[in-house]
Structure 1
Amino acid sequence: MTQPRRSQISLDATPYYHCVSRCVRRAFLCGRDGQLGRDYEHRRQWIETGMQKLAAIFSLDIAAYAVMSNHYHVVLYIDAKTARTWSDTEVIFRWQELFKASNLAQRFLQGASLDCSEKNKLKELIDLWRERLMDISWFMRCLNESIARQANAEDRCAGRFWEGRFKSQALLDERALAACMAYVDLNPIRADIAKTPEDSDHTSIQQRVRAVISGEQPKELLPFVGGERLNMPKGLPFQLDHYLALVDWSGRHLDPKKRGAISQNALPILERLGISAKHRLYLNRNFESRFKGLVGSAEAVRQVCIQLNKRWVHGIGDCQRFLSATPH
């Protein structure tokens, strides 16, 4: 049975979520349709530009993404701390980037005097908008509706463009986060539409590779800040060079015909997170299909089940096997 989205999202459990949205039509979302002789490649840029524009409005950061022919992946970080520091005025301005604000909010911005009941009503609206501006469901809704309108106009048709719901996975710990990001970044290579990460167009890994050549990290993506320490800044808890090496190594071993091995100290992130080479290969091929709503060590999943009053989660056995430090 499909579960309400609110039962799958808990900021107390994790701020990281992997989302996947798929096109409902036989026709391509992006890419080239040989049967109809149409080229939809330009739509990849619609999605890439759209998600980055929305991330600048929402209090959400993009950790990884990949735009494929009939679906896209995005790993999002919910920055609730920043959203709660926004002034009322900033919340209204941000909301107006997406939707028309109420007349009450417009009057407030114009400096009009509000009575007590109007102030209370405006506070309720601002609190609601603030929550929506750090909500992945509203982010995905805004992105998908915009893309659907553009595609329908281009195709000169009407009707549903996306599947009814996007898929989401809560990434409960660093093991799940690293495995999922690598899975997302390697999508074009698994699909054989790119040979290397730097050739994977419209992906976060290509954007990061291009930026690192100039000694920077892309401003549009959540940065890598290294391992945990005092006064930890916002960002991914890995080193960028370790992650790039991890993705490159994983990509070299996606083909079952190739037999590779990895030493204990070649990729520090693997040793630190306790994921063996064998398990890493499995996750890079099967992350999306193997795991469902909650992803992390078995203990992390059990703790979140208690918080969300869930009795059982599909895939907890694989979480124990592949993402726990001491599998049974």
Structure 2
Amino acid sequence: MPRSRKTQVALSATPYYHCVSRCVRRAFLCGKDTLTGQDFSHRRAWIETRLLHLAQVFAVEVCAYAVMSNHVHVVLHIDQATAERWPFREVIDQWHKLFKGSFLSQRYCRGELLGRAELNALHQQVEVWRGRLQDISWYMRCLNEDIARKANQEDNCTGRFWEGRFKCQALLDEKALAACMAYVDLNPIRAGMAPSPETSEFTAVQRRILHRDGNSTTQPHDLHPFAGNPREDMPKGLPFRLDDYLELVDWTGRQLRDDKRGAVSNSLPPILERLAIEPKHWLYMSRHFESRFKGMVGTAYSIKAACTKMGYRRRTGLADCRALLG
């Protein structure tokens, strides 16, 4: 029986999560259907624009994403500290960017005087909104519902666009985070849709490469930044150097090509050495991350610690994590 989202997301264990949404029956509803000849590739731009816009509204940051022809991958970071620091009015303003809010919040924004009981009620509602603005389920809901409505309107039909609920995996440590991000960024290469990371459309890695433009210090404002390791230049961010990560993705992409299958380059990226991941294990995860790991992902120690915090009795996937991540 599937676990509820509340039992899968525990910020005390990790703020990083991998989410996947698939089109109903895995149809090519965001790409070109070779059977019917219909081309819906423009919807990939809808999804990319929407998920990056939502990152400016929610206290949720996008680390990696790949918009494919029939599914979407996104690696998210929940910035709980920022959400808790938002002033009362800012929470209302953020919520109003997506929803009308309530009668009381609309009156408050117009500068109308509220009574004590009305103000207390509004404060309670704002705290509910504050929680939703740092909730992955609400983020994915606002992403998927918007795209489904647009697609159904375009097709002049009703019904489901996406399969059931989205898949969610907790990424418990640096090894799991690096492996998952690279797996997501390399999706178009594995699918034969692009020959290199910089030509992989609708991915975070292409956005980072194009924005970099020869300057390793500049990063897209709408993506979770790389802070380096140790974290010296920025107070928060991904625990890798941007150049190291791009080198790793480029190296991995070369190994995944058909003419390079099984080959290991002598110029092994230093990030693999620091994370102590065997190259053969890394390449396997770059192809099979989603299918091999069904739940939480991390080292055996991270899995055990997270299960204790989240109250899990069974440690699902522990053997696979120990074999591949240590």
Give the TM-score of the pair, scaled to structure 2.
0.95
How many residue pairs align between the two structures?
Answer: 323
When structure 1 is superposed on structure 2, of 54-63 and 220-229 the one drifting more is 220-229
Runs of 4+ in 1 over 6 A off after TM superposition: none
Q: CA deviation at 1:276?
A: 1.1
Aligned partner of residue 64 in structure 1, secondary structure = strand
Code of the residue aligned with 2:120 in structure 1: it is: N
Please say if residues 30 and 69 of structure 1, whose CA atoms lie closer than 8 Å, have aligned partners that are also in contact.
yes
When structure 1 is superposed on structure 2, of 211-220 and 95-104 the one drifting more is 211-220
Please say if residues 48 and 202 of structure 2, whose CA atoms lie closer than 8 Å, have aligned partners that are also in contact.
yes
Structure 1 position 76 matched with structure 2 position 76: yes
Code of the residue aligned with 2:240 in structure 1: it is: F
Distance in 2 (CA, whole Å) between partners of 1:133 and 1:214 is 35
Q: Which residue of 2 aligns with 1:296?
A: 298
Distance in 2 (CA, whole Å) between partners of 1:133 and 1:278 is 39
Distance in 2 (CA, whole Å) between partners of 1:26 and 1:250 is 27
Please say if residues 26 and 71 of structure 2, whose CA atoms lie closer than 8 Å, have aligned partners that are also in contact.
no
1:218-297 correspondence to structure 2 within 5 Å: 218-229=220-231, 233-255=235-257, 258=260, 259-263=262-266, 266-297=268-299
1:21-100 correspondence to structure 2 within 5 Å: 21-25=21-25, 27-100=27-100
Q: CA deviation at 1:262?
A: 4.3
Please say if residues 16 and 172 of structure 1, whose CA atoms lie closer than 8 Å, have aligned partners that are also in contact.
yes
Q: Which residue of 2 aligns with 1:311?
A: 313
Please say if residues 13 and 306 of structure 2, whose CA atoms lie closer than 8 Å, have aligned partners that are also in contact.
yes
Q: Which residue of 2 aligns with 1:113?
A: 113
Q: CA deviation at 1:155?
A: 1.0
Q: Which residue of 1 aligns with 2:165?
A: 165
Gaps of 5+ in 2: none
Distance in 1 (CA, whole Å) between partners of 2:26 and 2:226 is 38
Q: CA deviation at 1:40?
A: 0.7
Gaps of 5+ in 1: none
When structure 1 is superposed on structure 2, of 241-250 and 33-42 the one drifting more is 33-42
1:182-201 correspondence to structure 2 within 5 Å: 182-201=182-201
Aligned partner of residue 256 in structure 2, secondary structure = coil
**Deviation digits for residues 37-71 of structure 1, max 9, x if unmatched?**
21111001000000011111111111000000100
Aligned partner of residue 77 in structure 1, secondary structure = strand
Please say if residues 262 and 277 of structure 1, whose CA atoms lie closer than 8 Å, have aligned partners that are also in contact.
no
Please say if residues 61 and 77 of structure 2, whose CA atoms lie closer than 8 Å, have aligned partners that are also in contact.
yes
Distance in 2 (CA, whole Å) between partners of 1:23 and 1:295 is 24
Distance in 2 (CA, whole Å) between partners of 1:245 and 1:229 is 19
Code of the residue aligned with 1:11 in structure 2: it is: L
Please say if residues 198 and 210 of structure 2, whose CA atoms lie closer than 8 Å, have aligned partners that are also in contact.
yes
Cα distance 1:37–1:282, how it changes in 2: closer, same or farther (>3 A)? same
Distance in 1 (CA, whole Å) between partners of 2:246 and 2:18 is 19
Aligned partner of residue 85 in structure 2, secondary structure = coil
1:1-40 correspondence to structure 2 within 5 Å: 1-25=1-25, 27-40=27-40
Q: Which residue of 2 aligns with 1:180?
A: 180
Please say if residues 171 and 177 of structure 1, whose CA atoms lie closer than 8 Å, have aligned partners that are also in contact.
yes
Q: CA deviation at 1:33?
A: 1.2
Code of the residue aligned with 2:264 in structure 1: it is: A
Q: CA deviation at 1:232?
A: 5.0
Distance in 2 (CA, whole Å) between partners of 1:229 and 1:42 is 38
Distance in 2 (CA, whole Å) between partners of 1:267 and 1:231 is 22
Identity %: 57
Please say if residues 17 and 170 of structure 2, whose CA atoms lie closer than 8 Å, have aligned partners that are also in contact.
yes
Please say if residues 291 and 314 of structure 1, whose CA atoms lie closer than 8 Å, have aligned partners that are also in contact.
no
Q: CA deviation at 1:115?
A: 3.0
Q: CA deviation at 1:100?
A: 1.0
Please say if residues 186 and 251 of structure 1, whose CA atoms lie closer than 8 Å, have aligned partners that are also in contact.
yes
CA RMSD of superposed structures (Å): 1.5
Code of the residue aligned with 1:126 in structure 2: it is: V
Please say if residues 23 and 29 of structure 2, whose CA atoms lie closer than 8 Å, have aligned partners that are also in contact.
yes
Code of the residue aligned with 2:86 in structure 1: it is: W
Please say if residues 78 and 134 of structure 2, whose CA atoms lie closer than 8 Å, have aligned partners that are also in contact.
yes
Please say if residues 231 and 239 of structure 2, whose CA atoms lie closer than 8 Å, have aligned partners that are also in contact.
no
Distance in 2 (CA, whole Å) between partners of 1:125 and 1:176 is 36
Distance in 2 (CA, whole Å) between partners of 1:203 and 1:227 is 24
Distance in 1 (CA, whole Å) between partners of 2:122 and 2:190 is 50
Q: CA deviation at 1:214?
A: 4.3
Code of the residue aligned with 1:243 in structure 2: it is: Y
